[in-house]
C-alpha cells in the first residue's frame, strides 16, 4: 500500500489526496469502528455540533491505530519520515441535524505564525461511515493551501456553535477569502477509506441528509525535523514549551514532539 508518484504530486499541487483503497484490513477497521461508535453516545449534549477534540486523551486506544505502520507510511510519503502527532478529533454529524462547516482551513493565526507555518503538516481523515454527497463530504478548493494567511468572520456570540466552545473556523472565512475560480472538488470517501489534506487547504462540508450518523476521524501530523527551517529562537523556545506533553510517533524528535496548542481547538 502507498501513494503513487502522481498522487503525491496531486497532494502537493492541489493540497489534498484520497487513497483509492481501504486504509485498514476489514477486521482492523471493524475494531476501530467499534471504538469510534462508543464516543457518540457520550458526546451528544448538543446534537447540532458534535466534535470531540483531544480524542486520544479521552480514548487512548485510538493511538493503537495511529501508530499503525500503514498510517505512518502514508504520512511519511507526504511530509517525510519524522512524524509528530498534532491533534486528534472526531467529527460526528448526527442525522437530521444542521451540523456543517463553512469554508475554512485548519490553522489560525497565533504566536510566531510565520515560523510555525513553515512546518509541514497533514490531516488524515478516516471515514468510519461513508462521507459522500448525502452525508456531507468535504469539498476542497484546489491549490488553496498555497496561501496561508486568511481572514475569518467574527464569531457571533449568539451562535450555538460559539457558545459550545467550537473553534473559530465554524464562523467561516470572510467571503473575500473564498475564491472559487479554480472550482471545488468533493472528496467522496466510502466507509473505511481515507484522505489527506494540507492543513492550509480551504474546505467546507454540508449537513448530513442521510438517516444514519456520520463519523469522520481527523488525525493531524507534523514533520518534527525542523532543523533546516531557520526558525527564530523565540519560535523554537515557544515550540519546546508547548510540545513537552505531546506524542512523537517516528523518526527524529528535535523538539520532543509537537506544537499542538498552536492549532485552536485541535
Q: Under the criterion CB under 6 A, does residue 101 sit at the interface with ligand AKG?
A: yes
The 3-state DSSP class for residue 118 equals coil
Sorted by sequence, the CB contacts under 8 Å of residue 34 that are 6+ apart come out as: none
Q: Which three cell numbers, joined as nine digits, stand for 39?
A: 464516543
Q: State which residue, 148 or 229, has the beta carbon closest to ligand AKG.
A: 148
Q: Considering CB under 6 A, how many residues would be counted as binding ligand AKG?
A: 10
Q: Under the criterion CB under 6 A, does residue 170 sit at the interface with ligand AKG?
A: no
Grid coordinates 500500500 are at which residue? 1
Q: State which residue, 104 or 248, has the beta carbon closest to ligand AKG.
A: 104
Nearest-approach distance from CB 77 to ligand AKG, in angstroms: 20
Q: Under the criterion CB under 6 A, does residue 17 sit at the interface with ligand AKG?
A: no
Site for ligand AKG in 66-95 (CB under 6 A): 91
Q: State which residue, 98 or 234, has the beta carbon closest to ligand AKG.
A: 98
Q: State which residue, 197 or 225, has the beta carbon closest to ligand AKG.
A: 197
Which string of x and - marks every residue 127-146 that binds ligand AKG (by CB under 6 A)? ---------x-x--------
d(CA 242, CA 244): 6
Q: State which residue, 221 or 238, has the beta carbon closest to ligand AKG.
A: 221
Contact 195, 122 (CB under 8 A): no
Nearest-approach distance from CB 4 to ligand AKG, in angstroms: 24
DSSP string across 26-48 = HHHHHHHHHHHHHHHHTT-SSTT
d(CA 67, CA 88): 13
Q: Under the criterion CB under 6 A, does residue 16 sit at the interface with ligand AKG?
A: no
Beta strand residue intervals within the chain, DSSP E: 16-19, 50-52, 83-93, 101-104, 121-127, 138-140, 185-187, 194-197, 203-205, 214-223, 248-250
Identified binder of ligand AKG from the candidate list 141, 161, 194, 216, rule CB under 6 A: 216
Nearest-approach distance from CB 216 to ligand AKG, in angstroms: 5
Contact 142, 17 (CB under 8 A): no
Q: Shortest CA distance to 183 belongs to which of 139, 122, 138?
A: 139
Identified binder of ligand AKG from the candidate list 14, 77, 195, 205, rule CB under 6 A: 205
| φ/ψ of residue 86, rounded to 5 | -95, -50
Nearest-approach distance from CB 136 to ligand AKG, in angstroms: 5
Nearest-approach distance from CB 119 to ligand AKG, in angstroms: 18
Binding site for ligand AKG (CB under 6 A): 91, 101, 106, 125, 136, 138, 203, 205, 216, 218
Amino acid at each position: 500500500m502507498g501513494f503513487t508518484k502522481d498522487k503525491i504530486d496531486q497532494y502537493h499541487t492541489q493540497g489534498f489526496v484520497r487513497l483509492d483503497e481501504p486504509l485498514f484490513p476489514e477486521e482492523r477497521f471493524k475494531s476501530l469502528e467499534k471504538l469510534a461508535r462508543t464516543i457518540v453516545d457520550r458526546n451528544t449534549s448538543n446534537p447540532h455540533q458534535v466534535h470531540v477534540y483531544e480524542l486520544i486523551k479521552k480514548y487512548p486506544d485510538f493511538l493503537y491505530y495511529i501508530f499503525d505502520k500503514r498510517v505512518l507510511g502514508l504520512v511519511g510519503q507526504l511530509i517525510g519520515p519524522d512524524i509528530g502527532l498534532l491533534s486528534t478529533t472526531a467529527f460526528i454529524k448526527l442525522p437530521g441535524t444542521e451540523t456543517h462547516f463553512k469554508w475554512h482551513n485548519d490553522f489560525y493565526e497565533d504566536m510566531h505564525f510565520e515560523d510555525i507555518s513553515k512546518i509541514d503538516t497533514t490531516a488524515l481523515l478516516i471515514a468510519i461511515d461513508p462521507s459522500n454527497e448525502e452525508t456531507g463530504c468535504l469539498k476542497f478548493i484546489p491549490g488553496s493551501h498555497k496561501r496561508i494567511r486568511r481572514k475569518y468572520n467574527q464569531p457571533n456570540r449568539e451562535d450555538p456553535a460559539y457558545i459550545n466552545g467550537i473553534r473559530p473556523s465554524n464562523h467561516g472565512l470572510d467571503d473575500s477569502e473564498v475564491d472559487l475560480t479554480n472550482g471545488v472538488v468533493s472528496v467522496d470517501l466510502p466507509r473505511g477509506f481515507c484522505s489527506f489534506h494540507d492543513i492550509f487547504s480551504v474546505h467546507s462540508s454540508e449537513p448530513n441528509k442521510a438517516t444514519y450518523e456520520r463519523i469522520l476521524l481527523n488525525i493531524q501530523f507534523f514533520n518534527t525535523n525542523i532543523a533546516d527551517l531557520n526558525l527564530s529562537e523565540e519560535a523554537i523556545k515557544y515550540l519546546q514549551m508547548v510540545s513537552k506533553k505531546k506524542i512523537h510517533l517516528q523518526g527524529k524528535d528535535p523538539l520532543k514532539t509537537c506544537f499542538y496548542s498552536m492549532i485552536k481547538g485541535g
